[in-house]
Amino acid sequence: MSYIKLFNSLDKFLLSNIGCFIDVKYSFSIEHQKVNLSKQEESKGVFTLSNDEYLWNIQENGLCMDIYSQIKNSNFLFNSKHAVAHPDSQLSLVLSITSDKNKIKTFKTLFTFKNQNESLVHKNDIEIPKDIYKGTLEFKVFLVLSNKGQGTNPNILNESGIILGEIESWKVKTDGNASNFPIMFFADKKEPLWRLQCTYKDPESDEFSENIRIDFNTAHKDFKFLDYKSELYSERLANEIIKQCMQTIFIDLFEKDYFRTTIDDIGQDSVLQAAYYLVETHDIKVDSISNIIQSLNDFFERS
């Protein structure tokens, strides 16, 4: 009779016993000044980044990450019956960064540690250069056997460089769709699932964040599909709503001839500046209503 031998690996039980904690702070530099970025959870494990005063673009500004890592009971990985490494081995926490647009993948070692009783605390400054990554970045922190040990425990996969398990993962949208729209919530069983609020009068000067938003109706029977905390959450539905809103705004600007405005005449963080940003970076066609609809459809299919 043949059978598959299972090795010890980093599972939920081990994670709960070693007390591992990962926290990340984001920032970028502009004019030799550090600017902090706040993160908003768009859906489970998916974040957008923003600053109230400065417009951040990873292609122009890059991204800085301060990663704080802690393992309270690292010896549990070496000495318990669930151990994933021999007592004289060395383990490492390794960060992988992947872009969904240009498929670039890099690895960075956060720290390496031996069998010890002390709580491990480390801080790493990770700098992501500009002009390299775009799209949605996926981050994963792995536990890796960096140096194998001496031992005969058949339940331990004793091969240097082997990934023993994933500790944490998350995504950051750098040019995502929902990050362009402020989203608010209201509750009214008589109202539709969502509504677009546009209050701008002069899109050349009126700020985007203060004059455009999407309202989601939490009292609607289908809100469960827009609630990212729900197991029924549908990113496809959320993106479809955002696409319709963008098409509405772009058509309005087109019909009022605002796309004839030169960039030099547009105010900082205005509605028209946000529209022109998408035109320039995502090849949105604004020479006809049909091209607006089609190019925004294509943009969301690529995203």
The SS3 call for residue 2 is: coil
The fold of 12-173 is: Immunoglobulin-like (2.60.40)
Which residue matches tokens 């550090």? 34
Structure-derived torsion over alpha carbons of residues 151, 152, 154, 157, reported in degrees to the nearest 10: 30
| Strands, E assignment, the chain | 20-30, 33-43, 46-50, 63-71, 90-99, 105-113, 120-128, 136-147, 163-173, 183-186, 194-198, 212-217
Phi, psi for residue 149 in degrees, rounded to 5: -110, -175
**pLDDT at residue 3, as a whole number:** 43
Please state the length of the chain. 303
**pLDDT at residue 267, as a whole number:** 83
- pLDDT tens, position by position, for the chain (303 residues)? 444 446 778 888 888 888 999 999 999 987 778 889 988 887 778 888 888 777 677 877 889 999 999 999 988 898 888 888 889 999 999 999 988 766 678 899 999 999 988 899 999 999 988 877 777 889 999 999 999 888 888 888 888 888 998 999 999 988 644 445 677 888 899 999 999 999 999 999 998 878 998 999 999 999 999 887 778 888 889 889 999 999 999 999 999 999 887 777 788 778 998 888 888 877 889 999 999 999 999 888 876
Which residue matches tokens 């049909």? 290
CATH code 2.60.40 region(s) in the chain: 12-173
CA gap 49, 249 in Å, rounded: 23
**pLDDT at residue 4, as a whole number:** 46
What DSSP designation does 298 have?
H
Helix axes 289-302, 235-255, angle to 10 degrees: 150
pTM of the entire structure? 0.60
CA gap 299, 293 in Å, rounded: 10
